[in-house]
Structure 1
């Protein structure tokens, strides 16, 4: 088996519960934050898994020694050939996701900053995202490891 694990259908792969650990590095200041929690990929309201998944993440984010509850919601809509279109909770486009090779890079412009995400799948129960954020407002690296629960 190679370094990356091909995923023929991203929605089928992601469905279920995941343990999440994220580090957030501010490359300008050297500050480091951590998020720990869970992500659930469940069917979208009024739809089934074939039409998309609702990504609901919740946990605790610690920054400068202060721990706070944190959550986010995304929508993963079925794309062609086992891919997905990822959208924010309000329906705005975020990025495309194609894990058929086990690895994918996506860009998301946000105002003057550019988010570049690299997605890698290690095996049936482990995957990672690394977002590099560059621009006038941000210089960050966010690394998230997902491990399937159950």
Structure 2
């Protein structure tokens, strides 16, 4: 792979519809599962920023179930960055892709989420989240491709 693609404005880059494919691996048990679906970043009705709407199917232990989540991507403290929040407004993490690469952390009760964001080109990016805690040892890798 030949490096990361800098993004001048993360909200502008993310806007639109993306095909999403996520692999989930439990490092403790060796079990694997995954998510396949779409992620839509659309303007928020309540103000600036984007509404992140993810929907699709999550398969774990051979059982597929509908899955969805909603996040808020608000303008960040520096132009071109984002402040990512849960749907209820609680802080999740910052996001700065001006170098095409960003590392984030989010403590959640006894667990720690460490994320890496990489922009590959105008139509492809991916994330890798490592989740560790007393009962969790997971790696979640999501690849996004702009829907055509």
Aligned to 2:24: 24
Paired with 1:135 and 1:18, the residues of 2 have a C-alpha distance of 30
Is 1:72 matched up with 2:69?
yes
1:45 Cα offset (Å): 1.4
1:70 Cα offset (Å): 0.1
Q: How many residues align?
A: 147
Shift >3 Å, 4+ stretches? none
Paired with 1:77 and 1:100, the residues of 2 have a C-alpha distance of 16
Unaligned runs of 5+ in 1: none
Q: What is the alpha-carbon root mean square deviation over aligned residues?
A: 1.1
**Deviation per CA, 1:118-144, whole angstroms, max 9, x where unpaired?**
000000000000000111121000000
Aligned to 2:130: 132
**Deviation per CA, 1:29-67, whole angstroms, max 9, x where unpaired?**
0000110000000001133xxx20000000000000000
- TM-score w.r.t. the length of structure 1 is 0.96
Unaligned runs of 5+ in 2: none
Aligned to 1:46: 46
SS in 1 for 2:79: helix
SS in 2 for 1:82: coil
Aligned to 2:144: 146
SS in 2 for 1:81: coil
Is 1:61 matched up with 2:35?
no
